[in-house]
Amino acid sequence: MMQKKIYFPFLLMSIVLFSSYILFQNDQKPTLYFIGDSTVKNGKGDGGGGLWGWADFMKPYFDSTKINLQNNALGGTSSRTFQTQGLWNKVLDKLKAGDYVMIQFGHNDTSPINDSTRARGTIKGVGEDTVVIENILTKKTEIVYTYGWYLTKFITDIQAKGATAIVCSPVPRNGWKNGKVNRNEGNSYGGWAKQVATKTNSYFIDLNAIIADQYDALGEESIKAFFPKDNTHTGKDGAILNAASVITGLKSLPNCSLNKYLLSK
Mean pLDDT of the chain: 92
| Domain covering 33-107+144-251 assigned CATH 3.40.50.1110 in the classification | yes
Residue 21 pLDDT level (bands cut at 50, 70, 90):
very low
The confidence score (pLDDT) of residue 10 equals 53
Instruction: Give percent above pLDDT 70 in the chain.
Output: 90
Check residue 22 and give its pLDDT. Answer: 43
Assess whether pLDDT exceeds 60 at residue 4.
no
For residues 198 and 169, the answer to whether their CB atoms sit within 8 Å is: no
3-state helix/strand/coil string of 16-37? HHHHHHHHHHHHHCCEEEEEEC
DSSP 73-96: --TT--TTHHHHTTHHHHHHHH--
Asked if residue 104 lies in contact with residue 168, where contact means CB atoms within 8 angstroms, the answer is yes
The pLDDT tens digits for 206-221 are: 999 999 999 999 999 9
Q: What is the pLDDT of residues 88-115, one digit of tens each?
A: 999 999 999 999 999 999 999 999 999 9
Return d(Cα 176, Cα 115) in angstroms, integer. Answer: 29
> What average pLDDT score do residues 181-208 get?
96
Find the Cα–Cα–Cα–Cα dihedral 128, 169, 199, 159, rounded to 10°: 100
Where does 39-151 show beta strands of DSSP type E?
68-71, 100-104, 131-134, 141-144
Residues 6+ apart with CB under 8 A from 190: 106, 169, 170, 183, 184, 206, 208, 209
Instruction: Render the burial of 198-229: b for 16+ CB within 10 Å, e for the rest.
Output: eebebbbbbbbbbbbbbbbeeeeeebeebbee
Greater pLDDT, 177 or 16: 177
Report residue 198's pLDDT band, with 50, 70 and 90 as the boundaries. very high
Look at residue 11 in the predicted model and tell me its pLDDT. 56
Question: Among candidates 152, 157, 151, 216, which has minimal Cα distance to 182?
Answer: 216
Report CA Rg, the chain.
Answer: 21
> Is the per-residue pLDDT at 8 higher than 80?
no
| Domain residue spans of the chain | 33-107+144-251
At residue 185, the pLDDT reads 86
Average pLDDT over residues 133-158: 98
**At residue 14, does pLDDT exceed 50?**
no
- Three-state secondary-structure class, residue 100: strand
